[in-house]
Amino acid sequence: MDTAPQEDLLLQLYQCVGLLQRGKLQAARQGGGMEHKQGRLLYLLNQMEGASQKDLANVLDSRPASVSDLIDRLERLELVDRRRGGSDRRKVNLFLAQKGKDTASEMAAARDTMVSELFADFTEEEMALLRRLMAKMLRKLEVMNGLGAPDGAEK
């Protein structure tokens, strides 16, 4: 079987991901002094304010030590605050500092602009098809990586 068409699609996916990580969002992240992974963590904290390091590590599918390093960098940039839990002093929850909230808002505005521009030429039907195809690919990747149930199996 000729795998060239599939390899071309994979290359295009890699290129899309690379360009998504750069571009307009990169400028917003760099304005806050962040790299891609730090920007992703800031985005998550904006969605999950008060989350623990363990919660974030699970969502990011990363080692807690790696997430701790990212949090340290964001804390040095004065974007996040660590706060001890009430009754359990061992538990640390993470919150966006005001500078982090401002940076997250700038990143959200840049993301909204990028999404509008990126999908401006797509019809509703094309968007629906792309969503279905991406969901199908995501399910397959999850199975291949041991994160999901094979097609037709209970989840």
**DSSP letters along the chain, please?**
---HHHHHHHHHHHHHHHHHHSHHHHHHHHHTT--HHHHHHHHHHHHSTT-BHHHHHHHHT--HHHHHHHHHHHHHTT-EEEEE-SS-TT-EEEEE-HHHHHHHHHHHHHHHHHHHHHTTT--HHHHHHHHHHHHHHHHHHHHHTTSSPPTTS--
By the 10 Å C-beta count (0-12 exposed, 13-18 middle, 19+ buried), 83 is classed as exposed
Averaged pLDDT, 2-17:
90
pLDDT confidence bin for 147, thresholds 50/70/90:
confident
pLDDT of residue 37: 82
Lowest-confidence pick of 41-45, 81-85, 122-126:
81-85
Q: In which band, very low, low, confident or very high, does the pLDDT at 19 lie, cut at 50, 70 and 90?
A: confident
What value does the mean pLDDT of the chain take? 85
> What's the pLDDT at 84?
83
Full-model pTM:
0.71
Confidence of residue 137 (pLDDT cuts 50, 70, 90): very high
pLDDT band at 151 (very low <50, low <70, confident <90, very high): low
Confidence grade of residue 155 (pLDDT, cut at 50, 70, 90): very low
Q: Of 81, 79, 83, 82, which is closest to residue 106 (Cα–Cα)?
A: 79
pLDDT score of 25 more than 50: yes
